[in-house]
Chains A and B, each alone.
Chain A
Amino acid sequence: MQTGNDISAALRPLDLAAPALFTAFLKDTAAFALEDGNVAFSTSGDTRSVAAHPDAGILVAAAEKDAVLTGGDDGRVVRTRTDGTTELLGETGGSWIDALSSGPDGAVAWSSGKKVSVRDRSGALFTTEVPSSGRGLAFVPKGFQLAISHYNGVSLWFPRTATPPRQLSWKGSHIDITVAPDARFVVTTMQENALHGWRVADGANMRMSGYPSKTRSLAWSPDGKWLATSGADAAIVWPFVTKDGPMGKPPLELGVRRSRVERVAFHPKAPVVAVGYADGCILLIETGSGQELLARRENADSGAIAALAWDGAGMKLAFATRGGAAGVVELPKV
């Protein structure tokens, strides 16, 4: 790595009480969902913590514009705002919250076992049951529709209608799910170290394989033309430029290193992807040129990168590691 390509000195470490499994920027505030049930907010160096799940752990989290949503092993779904107030959105009676997603206009979706719930801004609650545990949830960017991954495929559900969910089928265990920003494609991660995609219009299948490990992080470029993924010793970035998606096209392999990519986060404005590795290293990589910028040096003690997120302007990158390290990298102004 050339010295000119190293901005790791601009990293400001944060002292969090427990490892964070999720991070997001709420305007200028870096928010972290911690394994110990707390949500931490950090605004220009000042960090405060809110007990979102007292005496419990956070399993899943998502972000809204000015709040963090968390689901815990206490069976509660909680909204925590930057002012420190919390709101209980749902309760299962103790069974774990398996997946969580924020939707349009203050809507929230969560799943616990086979039961999937959506709560809209007015507080109206809609529920459905999927064939096996709902493992991943993603709102479709158009309309009020939820995509749910489970065994043997995906259910596309309109919560406000009585119509049974449309099924996209493919045998196997589908874990995480994402929908393209233009709503044309649905992509899941699978147990067999592969991704599976469907073209929503006609249900055409796409198989994206070749990963040595499971993919657990997915990020679309803001224009929806690229999908960055973890699970290999490089960020694997699939082209969704044409109407056929990535079928028959090779992906980009960015940031090849001797460590597995754990998290990916696309820059909100520039063609740059932040890539977090198992050894704690973070690189910022330009998709066109493959040029790399070192944002965090590898650090075996801190553990793998567990969470990565850009702020809205694309000037700050928040991260957290499995071992409990966390921080914010500020990009130098040019």
Chain B
Amino acid sequence: MSDKIPVTVLTGYLGAGKTTLLNRILSEPHGKRYAVIVNEFGEIGIDNDLVVGADEEVFEMNNGCICCTVRGDLIRIIEGLLRRRGKFDAIIVETTGLADPAPVAQTFFVDEEVQENARLDAVVTVADAKWLLARLKDAPEAKNQIAFADVILLNKTDLVTPEELDEVEARIRGLNPYARVIRTVRSQAPLSEILDRGAFDLERVLSIEPAFLEADDHDHDHHHHDHDHHGHDEHGHDHGHDHGHHHHGGLKHYHDEDVQSVALTVPGDVDPDKFMPWVQTLAQEEGQNFLRWKGILAFKGEPRRFVFQGVHMILDGDLTREWKPDETRTSKLVFIGKELNEDALRKGFEACAA
């Protein structure tokens, strides 16, 4: 694990400040050397020894999984970089503003050699505080990038009022309550908040509470969605994308019509013989709609925690550390995706209770 090369994926809409962040990462005196993979047609002016141009060539795997798209060029470049292993410590992949992060992430689950030698550390999305709301309305890519992220830099905060900033952050939370949001000017975030996050490391998935609850140390029980929006057909809104009501930690709570999140809890153990088949079927039948999903499960009779994560139909799970004596054995799932049927997901999960 430790000798696998960490890979950080930088996404964000055009002009949000990705390249500024990239150059900050490269120029800070951290003593680490990076190999940087950038889009061939992207912005130039990256000051680094090892910069590789990529074409963002996505293809579909022939495994009966229509959403299993992979960056073949990334597989080739990482293979080539492995020949220069002593020359760098970590890899940063900068994607174009229009890129969907899923194929990049899936590349790290699908290719054996990539998996043996590199590990996806986190997807970091840079968002422009002034323009994000407009982009969320007109660019589905921007929404995907927010929904998919582990870390979101809410950048250019100096260009908006505090009220506008709260509004943007609330919209981000509505799409992705689990990412760490960092407010920045000129992409000036502490690098420790961006690098070495281990966001895809099952051993490091400690909890899957919404990030703002963790940050504010709120009572977790308050976070129950009591709405029943399941898709576009069921409610007749004809207004814009957002319709927010209740408040959380000072932020308005928004529900996005395209991308939602669902958090489910079974207070206690689940039966792995019920849970595993259910989750596999779910991946097959609805994985297309799940951008990211995660779970921490207490399996009946198992002293260790079972942690899993999914990107669309691709699942990765394992038993990790033991439940601590002072921890309550409880089973939780979270989904970020499209057209999530919260009721059906809840019933399915509750039926797995041991």
Confirm or deny: B83 has a beta carbon within 8 angstroms of a beta carbon on chain A: yes
Contact B72 A73 (CB under 8 A): no
Within the assembled complex, what's the spacing in Å between the Cα atoms of A19 and B82? 12
Any A CB within 8 A of the CB of B84: yes
Given known A-B contacts A95-B40, A151-B57, A173 and B72 have beta carbons under 8 A apart: yes
Q: Taking the complex as formed, is A308 at the interface, i.e. its CB lies under 8 A from any CB of chain B?
A: no
CA distance A59 to B79 in the complex (A): 9
- Assuming A173-B59, A191-B70, A192-B62, is B113 touching A96 (CB within 8 A)? no
A191 contacts B61, CB within 8 Å? yes
Separation of A135 and B59 alpha carbons in the complex (Å): 14
Q: Indicate if the CB atoms of B84 and A172 lie closer than 8 Å.
A: no
B76 within 8 Å of A (CB atoms): yes
CB atoms of A191 and B72 under 8 A apart: yes
Interface residues on B, range: 20 to 34
Nearest CB in chain B to that of A98: its residue: B76
Q: How far is the CB of A189 from chain B (nearest CB, A)?
A: 13
Main secondary structure of the interface of A (DSSP, over half): loop
Please tell me if A57 contacts chain B, counting CB pairs below 8 Å.
yes
Let me know if B328 is at the binding interface, CB within 8 A.
Answer: no
Which residues of A from 151 to 201 have beta carbons under 8 Å from B?
Answer: 151-152, 171-173, 190-192
Given A173-B72, A192-B62, A213-B112, answer yes or no on A57-B83 (Cβ-Cβ < 8 Å): yes
* Closest Cβ neighbor of B57 among chain A residues: A132
Q: Which residue of A lies closest to B79 (CB)?
A: A59
* Contact assessment for B62 and A113 in the assembled complex, using a CB-CB cutoff below 8 Å: no
The proximity string for A residues 54-70 relative to B, scoring 1 for CB distances below 8 Å and 0 otherwise, is 00011100000000000
Question: Are A132 and B55 touching (Cβ within 8 A)?
Answer: yes
Cβ-based interface call for A258 (8 A) = no
Asked if residues B72 and A151 are in contact (CB atoms below 8 Å), the reply is: yes
B60 touches A113 (CB 8 A): no
Interface membership of B100, Cβ < 8 A: no
User: How many Å lie between the Cα of A283 and that of B102 in the bound state?
Assistant: 42
How far, in angstroms, from A152 to B60 measured CA to CA in the complex? 10
> Given the interface contacts A57-B84, A135-B76, does A172 sit within 8 Å of B59 by beta carbon?
yes
B75 closest partner in A (C-beta): A191
Complex formed: what's the CA distance from A172 to B55 in Å? 17
Identify which of residues 49-108 in chain B touch chain A, using a CB-to-CB cut-off of 8 Å.
Answer: 52-53, 55, 57, 59-63, 70, 72-73, 75-77, 80, 83-84
For residue A101, CB closer than 8 A to chain B, the reply is no
Any A CB within 8 A of the CB of B111: yes
Q: Is the CB of B111 within 8 A of A191?
A: yes
Complex alpha-carbon distance, A57 and B83, angstroms: 8
Tell me if A214 counts as interface (CB < 8 A to partner B): yes
The answer to whether B55 and A133 have CB atoms under 8 Å apart is yes
Q: Give CA–CA (A95, B83) in the complex, Å.
A: 16
A101-136 to B contact mask, C-beta < 8 Å, 1/0: 000000000000110000000000000000011010
A133-B72, A133-B73, A214-B112 given; A96·B59 CB < 8 A? no
Question: If A57-B83, A57-B84, A98-B76 touch, does A114 touch B60 (CB 8 Å cutoff)?
Answer: no
Question: Which residues of B have CB within 8 Å of A133?
Answer: 55, 57, 72-73, 76
A35 at the interface (CB under 8 A from B): yes
- Contact yes or no, A113 B40, CB < 8 A: yes
A227 within 8 A of B: no
Interface presence of A21 (CB below 8 A) = yes
Cα(A101)–Cα(B255), bound, Å: 55
Contacts of B80 in A (CB 8 A): 57, 59, 73, 96
Given A173-B70, A191-B70, A214-B113, A21 contacting B83 (CB threshold 8 A): yes
Inter-subunit contact A113/B70 (CB<8 Å): no
Question: Which one, B40, B62, B84, contacts A73 given CB within 8 A?
Answer: B84
In the complex, the answer to whether B76 meets A172 with C-beta atoms within 8 Å is: no
Smallest beta-carbon distance B260→chain A, Å: 32
Rounded to whole Å, the gap between the CB of A33 and the closest CB of chain B is 10
Kindly list chain A residues whose C-beta atoms are within 8 Å of the C-beta of B77: 96
A113 CB contacts on chain B under 8 angstroms: 40, 53, 55
Q: Which residues of A contact B112 (CB under 8 A)?
A: 213-214
Chain A positions within 8 Å of B55 at CB level: 113-114, 132-133
* List of A residues within 8 angstroms of B57 by Cβ: 132-133, 151
Q: How far is the CB of B301 from chain A (nearest CB, A)?
A: 32
Find the residue from B60, B83, B111 having the highest chain A CB count within 10 A: B83
Residues in A whose Cβ lies below 8 Å from that of B63: 192
CB of B270, distance to nearest CB on chain A (Å): 32
Name A171's closest neighbour in chain B (CB-CB). Answer: B62
Question: Who on chain B is nearest to A213 by CB?
Answer: B112
Q: Which of A196-225 contact B (CB under 8 A)?
A: 213-214
**10 further interface pairs, Cβ-Cβ under 8 Å (given A132-B55, A132-B72):** A21-B83, A59-B80, A73-B52, A73-B80, A95-B53, A113-B55, A133-B73, A172-B61, A191-B70, A191-B72
Instruction: Identify the 9 closest CB pairs spanning chains A and B, nearest first.
Output: A35-B83, A173-B72, A172-B62, A173-B59, A151-B59, A57-B84, A132-B57, A192-B62, A59-B80
Query: Would you list 8 pairs from A and B whose C-beta atoms are within 8 A, ordered by A residue?
Result: A19-B83, A57-B83, A73-B52, A171-B62, A173-B59, A173-B72, A190-B62, A192-B61
Chain B contacts to A: CB under 8 angstroms: 40, 52-53, 55, 57, 59-63, 70, 72-73, 75-77, 80, 83-84, 110-113
